[in-house]
Structure 1
Amino acid sequence: MKSFLQDLAQQRWDDHRYYHHSRINQSLHLVSALCFIAAYGLLFTDPASAALLAWGVSMTTRQSGHFFFEPKGYDTVNRATHEHKEDIKVGYNLRRKVVLMAVWALIPLVLWLAPSFGGLTEPAADFKGFLHALGMAWLCLGVAGLVFRVGQLTVQQSLGVGLVWAFKIITDPFHDVALYWRAPGYLLRGELIDPMDHARRG
């Protein structure tokens, strides 16, 4: 358990110091985290709506922060190139995220053109039914994406690394709220980039 917690802390620290320099990205992560927490609550009563909220709001805000606002140049804080950080990223780096988000974006089109989703579900009778089917498909994508990356990490590194990463991803919303709740305030004061003094000392 001690080793698990140490590895978890290290993955969280690396994720923060390498990929969350932008105050806009941090603020979007706060919005994303709050929506994910709401989606976790919905998961027990309305899984389809939970997935629509998680993918439609939480993931789009979270990933737009990474794609559009996070600096991609040389990281002077960590003395690392963007390419190096992408290579050592434990979870989904930007290349993998492009694939994941492309699949996410294609699912509504596939579901619209093939309402039975290849015979996996009953065709929706109306738009509400379509949204329900879409939510369930996105929920399956989320689970599949999690399991797939755990499998990759198990082959590439170890099962322990994969399980730590999975736990980190599931609990990230709670951790992000604690980490980034001040970010909007800094952003309103005109600070676009976190100076990361704590990372320089670390």
Structure 2
Amino acid sequence: MYAASLGGDGAELRPLEPWQAGEFLAHIDRGREFIGQHNGLPDVVRDLESSAAFLRAYAEKTAADSGRIHGIWADGTLVGGFLLRKLDIEQRTAEAGCWLEPSVVGRGLVTRAARLVIDWAVEVRGIHRVEWWVSPDNAPSIAVARRLGMTKDGVLRESYLYRGKRHDEEIWSVLAPDWRVAKAAW
């Protein structure tokens, strides 16, 4: 297994795999309420079986070259994740997503993880457009999109049914040429 450093504070980005279902479930349980404010993951990962099934689905996406999931570890503990929910090599598009436990918010972990994974998608896999779908109420996630050099493309009004209520979704994106410009500025 490989790990990529997320900087001098010891944080790492690693692939998440089905054999880590117990650790993944414990992580979701620690942040269930916080993560669930804007992310449906806690409603999907409810027990060990559903945790393993979720990670197996991403193992299958990885094998099919249609998605990836990575965990964010801080001080040896899984505290968040970053994924390419969709990866379409033919169309050269991807959709990225993230989540964190509340204990590590504000440390820049998502931004650092996003930079690694998006850079891999653009520079290694040839992705031209990376999208970031976010609730308009999720100011921290929108701030990450801005730090990544993304542009707000628009709002899909009441497009997402979540916990019995319709929610708007903002679509942010970065194109490969803009990514390279933003990357040079870091």
Same fold (TM over 0.5): no
TM normalised by structure 2 equals 0.30
Indicate the structure (1 or 2) with the bigger Cα radius of gyration: 1
TM-score w.r.t. length of structure 1? 0.28
